[in-house]
Chains A and B, each alone.
Chain A
Amino acid sequence: MSNHARPLPEPDADSAPYWQGCREHRLLLRRCTDCGGVQFPPGPRCPDCGARTHDWVEASGRGWVFSWIVVHHPVPREVYQDEVPYVVALIELAEGPRLAANIVGCEPAAISAGMAVTVEFEDVTEQITLPRFRPTQPATPT
């Protein structure tokens, strides 16, 4: 996934800290300072309690595969014809929220529900870095 013709995120006032975090290779989640809820995607208000006040917490970067697709037919063709097949997954983060991202570093057929994954970051341009996920390597026994 290194084709720069693909659509790049246009950060807005709600999401700018999140994308800035990605540039710094940190996965930041919006946390409501009223009810403590941690949410994705970041919006103007807490979807749980409606409060506007919030701060940002760095996620562990660990999660698991909630659902996934394997794209074979490129849409649009001119952008993705050299990318297919590729995997898009809904990842449920250890902190609770889900986000959508590509899974790299394994064959599409090897992906399974509940598979543990860890975030990494792809610097797409000087301004934009995207999170993506890779199967978590088992910890080396000590």
Chain B
Amino acid sequence: MWSLRDKYAIAGVGYTEYSSKSGVTVLDLATRACGNALADAGLGADQVDGVISYTFNDSVPAMAVATGLGLPGARYAVDYQAGGNAANLVIQAAAAAIEAGLAENVLCYRAMNGRSGFRLGGGRELTARGITQHTAPHGWISYPQAMAMWCRRHMIRHGTTSAQLGAVAVTCRDNAALNERAMMRQPITLADHRNARMIVEPFRLLDICLESDGACAVLVTGAERARDLRQRPVYILGAAYGGGPNQGDDLFDAIRWPDHDHNYSRYIADDLWRGAGVGPRDVDVAEIYDCFTYSVIVQLEGFGFCPPGEGGGFVQDGRIARDGELPINTHGGLLSEAYIHGLNHVVEAVEQLRGQAGPRQIDGAEIALTTAGAMTCGSALVLRN
């Protein structure tokens, strides 16, 4: 369990423009986001000695970013082979590295040309070896196809409806409309969701997140150090990573998962809340990993905002809107801001807790939840100002 409550903080955040065609290299995106995070914090590159990232063979390694930024003394440069499940894990790992004396100031980033370059959802690596010999030959290849199987199971077990998925899509878009860096800002209605093109039943186009070129970066440092820097520190109250005993052979694989009506969140919630010393009722704003609309519903259940099976009802009637009981994805999420694999959720949570979210600001936000992952493994943070 996390034992570093309030000892570490996020002192800077940075991001690039989010687009469908950046026209620049992934290394350019990564170093720009990191440079922006340092400028935000008011910290020189010469002070950074740790760099952590996560990649799906679609990014540049931490050593390249350390080199590109001209870091004179990178003592800790590590890459996780992971997708969105690691967006909060890297921040947990940064604090752990500092605690262990391996580094003092750590940049975490995610960077990719996810639309103009390697498209994760495109099934480009069309092989059937290892675990995929049992999935790809049947035409079960893309992540939307993987998650649709989970969503269907939730519908079977709990009666979750497409209209409930639509409520998540509409909420995210409403928030994105107020976010100048969001890729999709045109408001949508439940009818738009209902009429959207069917991609893979039960998912329509508006159930599926964007594909984006872009990068985000977060600077993690000790709480005391953070208090001397330019921004109001955002403290890491709690952090957790994991999943159940059958996490599978890769991120796609969940053949042996007990039941696809729940995901990793059920397995890490206790760790998260006990480590943080707060509970779901204390959360003012929640940035929930939304690679698909369904992912939000199942995580709200897993993290204890509602009982198992009741997430579909929970997201309706404005409960997750900005003025609702639990505002979620105030930036528009992966569904409408950009798909920076969850690190953009951390950026948004930090801006909310600093009171810098402009027209999307949730008044009085003091505690934020960020989550990352949708299937058998994932990570989460509880942050406070």
Residues of A near any B CB (own CB < 8 A): 1, 6-12, 15, 39-41, 43, 47, 66-73, 75-76, 79-80, 83, 86, 88, 90, 97-102, 108, 113, 124, 128, 130, 132
Contact = CB atoms under 8 A, between A and B. Distances in A.
Interface in B188-209: 197-202
Interface of B: 121-124, 126-142, 144-145, 148-150, 152-153, 156, 197-202, 246, 249, 255-256, 260
Can you list the 8 inter-chain pairs with the closest CB atoms, starting with the nearest? A9-B133, A70-B201, A7-B128, A10-B129, A67-B153, A69-B148, A113-B156, A73-B199
Nearest to B254: A90
Contact of A88 (B122, B126, B138, B202): B138
A79 B255 contact: no
B200 A69 contact: yes
A79 B145 CA distance: 15
Nearest to A132: B138
Given A70-B201, A73-B200, A90-B149, 17 more contacts: A8-B137, A9-B129, A41-B131, A41-B249, A67-B260, A68-B152, A69-B145, A69-B149, A71-B139, A71-B200, A72-B197, A73-B197, A75-B144, A80-B139, A88-B140, A88-B145, A100-B140
A121 to B, nearest CB: 13
Contact of A71 (B127, B145, B153): B145
Contacts of B256: 39, 47, 97-98
A99 B255 contact: yes
B346 to A, nearest CB: 29
B127 A10 contact: yes
Contacts of A72: 197-201
Contacts of A130: 137-138
